[in-house]
Amino acid sequence: MRRVLGISLTFALMLVACSHPKTYSAQASIDPLTASGWGADLIPGRGNTLSGLPQVAYLELRTPISTKLVAQFMEDPASAQKENDAIHEKFPDFMSEVIGNVVVFVPPKGDTPVAPEDLTALESLLL
């Protein structure tokens, strides 16, 4: 009985951990990104977003093979999802992804999908 409860509790904790996306910091993420061969230029949060929610920072990124990406940091994961929803509502063909509190897309028009390997690498490097 104890073992079943232990397994159930462990599983429940894993579900809770997975259901709460992380909040990342643009400033803290620069060092691990650049140490891994990425380029990262920090631009302070711009005022206007499509959702009307505050953007806290904006990173212009270059992957190790020079693919350009933009990482738009919102205050929290819910704000990032609302911003992504607002983007897709206004521009249905815009291709963007959400990692925690970050909206990621290929500039300048978002008309190219973010490569899955770039998303995976970015998620592992964000702090």
Confidence of residue 48 (pLDDT cuts 50, 70, 90): confident
Overall average pLDDT of the 115-120 stretch: 97
Q: By C-alpha distance, which of 19, 21, 43 is closest to 30?
A: 43
Rounded CA-CA distance 50/105 in Å is 15
Segment 3-45, tens digit of pLDDT:
444 444 444 444 444 445 899 999 999 999 999 999 999 987 6
With a cut of 60, say whether residue 53 has pLDDT above it.
Answer: yes
Segment 65-116, tens digit of pLDDT:
999 999 999 999 999 999 999 999 999 999 999 999 999 999 999 999 999 9
